[in-house]
Amino acid sequence: MKPSKHRDTRLLVSNIIGVVACALGLNYIIWRYIASLNLQALWFSIPMVIAETYGILDMLLFVFMSWRKPEREPLSPPEKAEVDIFITTYNEPVDLVATTARAAMRIDWPDKKVYILDDGARTSMEKTAEEIGCNYISRGKDWRGKPRHAKAGNINNALLETSGEFIMILDADQIPAPTILRKTLGFFSEPSLAFVQTPQYFYNLPPGDPFGNEASLFYGPIQQGKDGWNAAFFCGSNAVLRREALMQLGIREYVETMEKRERETIKRLAKRMQKTSCDDAETCAAVKRLTEGLKAAGEALDDKASLEHVSDLVIEAVRDAEFLISRKEVSEIAGAMNELAKEGDTEAAAIYRHIIGNLDSIARRAPSLSDTLPLRGSEEYLEALNLARSEEAVPVQALATISITEDMATAMRLHSLGWKSIFYPEVLAYGLAPEDFGSSLKQRLRWAQGTVQVFIRENPFFKKGLSFPQKLMYFATMYSYFSGFFNLVLLLAPIIYFFTGIAPVSSWSVDFFVRFIPFFIMNKIMFRFVASGIPVWRGEQYNLAMFPLNIKAVLSVLSGKKLGFVVTPKHKEEGHNFRLIWPQTTIIVLTIAAVTYGLIGFFGGRGIPAVGLLVNMAWSIYNVASLVVVVRALYYQPPEGWNAQLPEFVIQTDRRPAQDDSANSCPAGKP
């Protein structure tokens, strides 16, 4: 068979398995709702059936995602294309960045410029960049005192200082293969293609991947599936992007933000005018002038006048109102001078005459002292109406800054503007995964929080311009981070059963088994078939075991607390912090206690039916077998003599000074 034919057959089989698994799943869950809820214990059976429904929907989304997998063969690259290669860094070791930069300099493409974007503004980094012969950018003084927006801000800043037609983004530790541009640039012959994402591959995973960092499922079947619906995700590194697409995104966002802000400001000021009372004719005239001005500006905005024009209408009204108030105040001073003059003060008389003679011009120049009206001195309106976005260092922000993980939001905005994306599955860059459990958890938490943040602030279902499958693809990923609550229910269920004898189903009957077991088995087969050889058990373990982290992520975003961008540590943190795994350990201990209690009860002749005992024991074993992964991870020590190996092409071609060869085997700073 030809490879493509083989692929087609494989996909067909995969789809059939998927459909069967979905049918069995629906068959099971519908039966659960209509015929098997334990009505005596709704407090238990309802959360349980909701948790099960969550799982079924997750499976449906997965099957839909895996429905088609486009074949991606590199196309011949254009003859000429300027590429800017951005290496983003904040506090990673200079050596680590240098290895990446050297590899970037060796990429096989004539028209490229390599930039180290150093958010740490380190002189040592700048010096190293010079030695390597690449460019160095750090934030300028425009950014002083402004929100920095972490990595997104770093890239947005560099976008405005460079000009290549394409941009390749690399994290500090992602060593690119020399062929990376030749294999990806060809795809851009499609003019509406915004980016090509390639996999993140980790060359430092310890044997057995104790921390579950292996990403080949995501950068394989999952991204390929999303690619099938033109919804491949941009993942922040190892991707080539079209500058035009990014800039367009930034400009659109600028226009929309400015328009929204102007509308809100006018509304707010108008409201304030309504509440302002006036006691004298001049103040009343000023209020009237402002009110009219705001009304005219609002109407102009609705009539699609330019924002500059609308701003000017407001500013003019403010100026006029200020003049009216000022004139009143100046007249009052003149009045006081006149009183003094009447008492014989000749100097006051002169001032009086001067003021009265030049009343208007003085009033125009004198700033008003009034604070009853929102006048020129009040910053809130100036900020909003100068179209300058003064609170930000750069007005045009191509990369989304709404989330601590900027990549997903950026990709979604690009897709919503009609741009296309491609996932090209060949590994073309080699990076580092966190080398200890604590760091790995920090990274997971950041992803989870970032994803939930995007879900809340830019829900794909309300995003105009996305196709329905694209919405589903984004939703599927966001949805998966809500699993913590449902997994907790699944973990507690057997414990509750053993201690109380209460089951979430009305009975452990034949009806239950004929529906549940085929579905369960088919679901596992389907997942493994789609994964096509990539180990999935570690991922399944972590999926269940990460329930505290996922719950924390959702709650922290919902609570509205400000979330910081944590740079994933690229070095090993020492020590075992038991606090990291107390929820999982508690569940393990409770489960073992519950099983023991159940067994004693069963053999002591108390209540639990044998079937219930067996089902819940099997369930408990599955739960514990999954959760122990974090215990193992916390106390994990790599085998004696094991070291991360840099990819061959780096070792062979890295012409580093001899005294500095330590980085060849351990760029993560391991001894």
Partner 1 sequence: MDFIIEEKEGTERYSLVAASGRLNGASATEFKRKIKQIVEAGKSRLILDMGGIVFIDSSGLSALISGLKCARESGGFFRLANLRDQPASVIKLMMLDRVFDIYADAIAAKP
Query: Footprint of partner 1 on this chain (CB under 8 A)?
Result: 160-165, 243-244, 246-248, 250-252, 254-256, 258-259, 304, 306-309, 311-312, 386-390, 395-396
Q: DSSP of 496-544, one letter per residue?
A: HHHHH---SBS---HHHHHHHHHHHHHHHHHHHHHHTTS--HHHHHHHH
The distance of closest approach from Cβ of residue 121 to partner 1 in the complex, given in angstroms and rounded to an integer, is 20
Cα separation of the two ends of the chain: 49
User: Which is closer to partner 1, CB of 86 or CB of 229?
Assistant: 86
Q: Pick the closer one to partner 1 by CB: 377 or 601.
A: 377
Which residue from 273, 301, 297 is spatially nearest to 287, judged by alpha carbons? Answer: 273
Residue 113 or residue 353: which is nearer to partner 1 going by CB?
Answer: 113
Report the Cα 640 to chain-centroid distance in Å.
38
Closest to partner 1 by CB, 104 vs 313, is: 313
Q: Which amino acid is at 326?
A: S
- Which residue reads 């200079």 in tokens? 94
Instruction: Give CA–CA dist 420/191, Å, rounded.
Output: 9
How many other β-carbons are positioned within 10 Å of the β-carbon of residue 209?
17
Q: How far is the CB of 39 from partner 1 (least distance, A)?
A: 57
CB of 157 to partner 1, least distance (A): 12
How many beta carbons lie within 10 A of that of residue 264, not counting itself? 11
Residues 201, 645: contact at Cβ < 8 Å? no
Contact 168, 240 (CB under 8 A): yes
- Whichever of 341 and 417 has its CB closer to partner 1, that residue is 417
Task: Count the residues in the chain.
Answer: 671
Query: How far is residue 196's CA from residue 233's CA, in Å, rounded to a whole number?
Result: 9
Sheet holding 175-176, edge to edge: 175-176, 429-431, 201-202
- Residue among 10 and 252 whose Cβ is closer to partner 1: 252
Write down the least CB distance from residue 144 to partner 1, Å: 15
For partner 1, the closer CB: 252 or 364: 252
Contact present, 178 and 107 (Cβ < 8 Å): yes
Closest to partner 1 by CB, 183 or 242? 242
Report the interhelical angle of 468-480 vs 406-416 (nearest 10°).
170
Q: What residues pair up with 86 in beta bridges, in sequence order? A: 115, 169
Q: If 0-12 CB within 10 Å is exposed, 13-18 middle and 19+ buried, where does residue 89 land?
A: buried
Which CB sits closer to partner 1, 192 or 532?
Answer: 192
At residue 558's C-alpha, the angle toward residues 554 and 564, to 5°, is 80
Alpha-carbon distance of 186 to 183, in angstroms, equals 7
Residue from 191, 200, 185, 198 nearest 239 by CA: 198
Q: By C-beta, is 327 or 389 nearer to partner 1?
A: 389
SS3 120: coil
CB closer to partner 1, 244 vs 332: 244
Q: Could you tell me how far CA 185 lies from the centroid of its own chain?
A: 26
8 Å CB contact between 116 and 135: yes
- Output the smallest distance, CB 397 to partner 1, in A: 10
Contact 536, 428 (CB under 8 A): no
In terms of CB distance, is 122 or 243 closer to partner 1? 243
Nearer to partner 1, 395 or 539 (CB): 395
Closest to 126 (Cα-Cα) out of 149, 94, 158, 103: 94
User: In angstroms, what is the C-alpha Rg of the chain?
Assistant: 32
Question: Least distance from C-beta 537 to partner 1, angstroms?
Answer: 46
Report DSSP letters for 424-469, one per residue.
--S--EEE---SSHHHHHHHHHHHHHHHHHHHHHS-GGG-TT--HH
Q: Please give the Cα distance from 10 to 320 (Å, whole number).
A: 74
Nearer to partner 1 among residue 83 and residue 581 (C-beta): 83
